[in-house]
Structure 1
């Protein structure tokens, strides 16, 4: 919110904002709850990123993972819940976003993302709440460690 107030103070307006949105976000320092409504009110186009927390939802160590967090302490959320890659993208596409920017390192990841889009269905609020409940125990600075920078 600091950055938005600073932009207002300087009289700077943008058309879009790229920000992390994922199924864990509502449970910890939420961009979805705090920033997204303000951006929508200002008529920004929303570009979602970190829909899978750069792989840390699958137990992967990422660039922003602090050294003191051991690799074996990073939980594999998809392995421990009924959540799927498709759920993660469907969840974000069910938010008021203009686009989703998904980092793909391999061709099969891109193909999976294309298939999700082909089979896309907007989730109901009830379905979204169920996914959030499964993800809630994983929310926070281990899975969403990119939020650590501002904590």
Structure 2
């Protein structure tokens, strides 16, 4: 991934074929509304991150009932909006539901345009078909882009690399290329249902922006006692990622993320092999990646109404 040097604490990279310059570390939005994070702290985290060079802001319509977007919207007042590349995600699969969720996100974030909007939780093989149905969410995002409500379109998922590849195939059949794709990229991923091995090469080939998430999996990876937080972040930064999105719920964790960037040097093959050797046994079963092996991270499974109605043509086929 081409790197752009800067005198600040941050490293900058290019987001795929968009030509946009983004910080190599992104601030995860979910953590901004955890019980231990009150609003003043959330605003301080966001603004401190921006002041120290982080420009990529991650969020989602469904994070903490919308509170994460609302807090980020408040933090981006007073000129901070112009300093960031703002991303959020919507869960709706129908055009109607996607439109509603996007409009809510715009209001919560207090902006007229979001830089990147992503189809969230593409975790089922049927999701691509629902998104790209003529009455699906993709039509809503294309219309919103034409109306100036968003600039780029991507998708996310955490379940299986094969589903990501399927989404790319269905998009290609529709003549569409995504601007960015988000997925788990961490020291355990290499050993089980690996996005790094199966999806990243295809994204590099198509020059699509690669967004890594769950580099620490909210601390779950660290319970394996096989790698340090800095090692986990270095591994994700060493992949051809445009951005490594990490949850930041304190100023100390912000310091940790920035320290990872400051100390990062491209790893050679031997260094990568050595790190992955330490995590091989722990990573082999998917135990430390519960977002792949369980449904506890699947917000749309617990809240199917977020998806909206199935396309009528699918219902007709089922009833025929």
Superposition TM-score, scaled by structure 2 size: 0.39
Q: Please report the RMSD computed on the Cα atoms of aligned residues, expressed in angstroms.
A: 1.5
If asked which structure has higher relative contact order (CA below 8 Å, sep 6+), I would say 1
Alignment counterpart, residue 263 of structure 2, candidates 119, 122, 128: 119
Matched pairs, number: 130
Structure 2 residue corresponding to 1:144, chosen from 280, 289, 292: 289
Residues 76-91 of structure 1: matches in 2 within 5 Å? 76-78=223-225, 81=226, 83-91=227-235
Tell me what 1:34 maps to. 198
Q: 1: CA distance between counterparts of 2:234 and 2:250?
A: 20
User: Greater Rg, structure 1 or structure 2?
Assistant: 2
Are 1:135 and 2:279 an aligned pair?
yes
SS class of match (1:46)? strand
Q: Secondary structure at the match of 1:102?
A: strand
SS in 1 for 2:182: strand
Separation in structure 2 between the aligned mates of residue 110 and residue 34 of structure 1, nearest angstrom: 30
Indicate which of 53, 65, 71 corresponds to 2:217.
Answer: 53
> d(CA) in 1 for partners of 2:230 and 2:241?
17
> How far 1:94 sits from its partner (Å)?
1.0
Distance 1:95 1:77 in 2: 22
Q: What CA distance in whole angstroms lies between the structure 2 residues aligned with 1:142 and 1:2?
A: 25
Shift of 1:149: 5.7
> Partners in 2 of 1:52 and 1:89 — Cα distance?
8
Deviates more, 1:93-102 or 1:7-16: 7-16
Q: Which has the higher strand share?
A: 2
Q: Which runs of 4+ in 1 moved over 2 A?
A: none
SS in 1 for 2:212: strand
Distance in structure 2 (CA, Å) of the matches to 1:93 and 1:5: 27
Structure 2 vs 1, CA of residues 18 and 86 (structure 1 numbering), >3 Å: closer, same or farther?
Answer: same
Unaligned runs of 5+ residues in structure 1 are 59-75
Task: After superposing the two structures, state which structure 1 stretch, 46-55 or 25-34, moved more.
Answer: 46-55
User: Which of 201, 222, 237 is the matching residue for 1:93?
Assistant: 237
